[in-house]
Amino acid sequence: MQEHDVQTNVISLLPLTAVLWLGYLLALALIDRLFYPHPVFAPVYYLLNGGYALVVLGLALWPRARNRLGGAFLPLVIGLMSAAPIITSHLVVLPLPPSQARSMEAITLRLMPVLLMALVLTAWQYRWRSVIVFSIGVAVFTLGLHLLFFRPGRPSLLPPITVLLIQTISFLTVGYFINSLMRRLKMQQTSLAQANAQLSDYAAALEELTISRERNRMARELHDTLAHTLSALSVQLETVKAYWQVDPTAAQHLLNQSLIATRSGLQETRRALKSLRASPLDDLGLPLALRQLATETAQRANLQLHLTLPDHLPPLPLAVEQCLYRVAQEAMANVAHHANARTLTVQLVCNGEIALHVRDDGRGFDPQRVESTSHYGLAGMHERAALVGARLSIVSRPQQGAEVRLVIPANNLVHSSAAAKNDGTEAT
């Protein structure tokens, strides 16, 4: 906590302090009226001390005065609360006819609650040495006035000195505990401010990471839709250009194929954009979303589908569901676009852990060779698996089909990473 903030908190206590001071004076006046035959203190004593309390209240509620006094404001208030009542007591009470209720030690005891309020403000705002200076200073100042107003024939100064000694020890003890608590509070607030700053930095870094993942996601989508379509279209148009003069009929046929590929690419791009805007998981849940995805993929690529899904799934974290769906989506898209397969097999097994299998009987590939070429789709599947602590393996050989296996351990089904939650709405 900064020093300015601490002083602001202390100033916010001043109105309550002034009200407590006024309440104490009222209670003291009632005690004098009810329990003593004659008032112990003259009314002027209560009027003057009540005036001091009202001055403190006015200063606390007057921002302009606080701004003008600046750093001297709180010391002025503490001095007013401690010195003014002591001086008033010696000027107003001691000249009255002596009695046990008007003795120096009685005056000291009656002033102690107000001085204790000033001590709390001192210990709250300043360091331990300031508490020592305040406690000893009040005792020395009071003792000096005792000596100044002492007259021969009056009772001994030993009782008031004893009371002053007890008051000083009490103030030092109470002040030490308050000051220690405030010091620890300041350390905790400083630590909390540092942690908050670190959290802000982490949030900024996480935002940057989220933006980076969004870019990677868009790159994967564009790679699997526009990039493929435009690449094939470019090759076909180059062939059309080469055949245009040699064989116009073949060129026309290739041009028609290019138009068909263009329309197909446009449909794929629209499908990809639609998948970016909304997740079927929100509407259907994981089993039905996987069933719909597998069915649409099989129909679009003219594949024979073998689908195995559990009847019931335990409640899964959103990040885990997103990982399963997006990995299945990427694996099925690869089968439809690249595998040249006849069958598609999709299995989701739940026996403690969750296992997803996507297989095809297509032409296969070399996973190490493909991954070394920075294939966005495979890289995206590995990223998603890592975010939820899953194991992803890709098994394939040329002309022997391919299989994608995603296994999520049971302990990760309850506690998924915060990064996965942030990445949960991404599409492959």
Is the pLDDT higher at 264 or at 74?
74
> Which of the four pLDDT bands, split at 50, 70 and 90, describes residue 419?
very low
- In this predicted model, what pLDDT tens digit does every residue of 320-365 receive, in sequence order? 888 898 899 889 988 988 888 999 999 999 888 899 999 999 988 8
Query: Which pLDDT score, from 0 to 100, does residue 371 have?
Result: 59
Q: Where are the domains of the chain?
A: 3-199, 284-428
Query: Which pLDDT score, from 0 to 100, does residue 269 have?
Result: 74
What would the mean pLDDT of 93-103 be, rounded to a whole number? 66
Percent of residues, the chain, with pLDDT higher than 90: 18
Inform me whether the pLDDT recorded for 103 exceeds 90.
no
Quick check: 392 and 404 in contact, CB under 8 A? yes
Average pLDDT, the chain: 81
Query: Which pLDDT score, from 0 to 100, does residue 421 have?
Result: 42
> Which of the four pLDDT bands, split at 50, 70 and 90, describes residue 416?
very low
Inform me whether the pLDDT recorded for 367 exceeds 90.
no
- In this predicted model, what pLDDT tens digit does every residue of 156-185 receive, in sequence order? 778 888 888 999 999 999 999 988 988 888
Inform me whether the pLDDT recorded for 385 exceeds 80.
yes
> Which of the four pLDDT bands, split at 50, 70 and 90, describes residue 426?
very low
Separation between Cα atoms, residue 19 and residue 35, nearest integer Å: 24
Inform me whether the pLDDT recorded for 417 exceeds 70.
no
> Which of the four pLDDT bands, split at 50, 70 and 90, describes residue 406?
very high
What would the mean pLDDT of 104-121 be, rounded to a whole number? 87
Query: Which pLDDT score, from 0 to 100, does residue 403 have?
Result: 93
Q: Tell me which CATH homologous superfamily contains domain 284-428.
A: Histidine kinase-like ATPase, C-terminal domain (3.30.565.10)
Query: Which pLDDT score, from 0 to 100, does residue 344 have?
Result: 94
Query: Which pLDDT score, from 0 to 100, does residue 373 have?
Result: 53
Inform me whether the pLDDT recorded for 51 exceeds 80.
yes
- In this predicted model, what pLDDT tens digit does every residue of 120-130 receive, in sequence order? 988 888 888 99
- Is the pTM of the predicted complex or chain greater than 0.75? no
Least confident of 95-99, 203-207, 286-290: 95-99
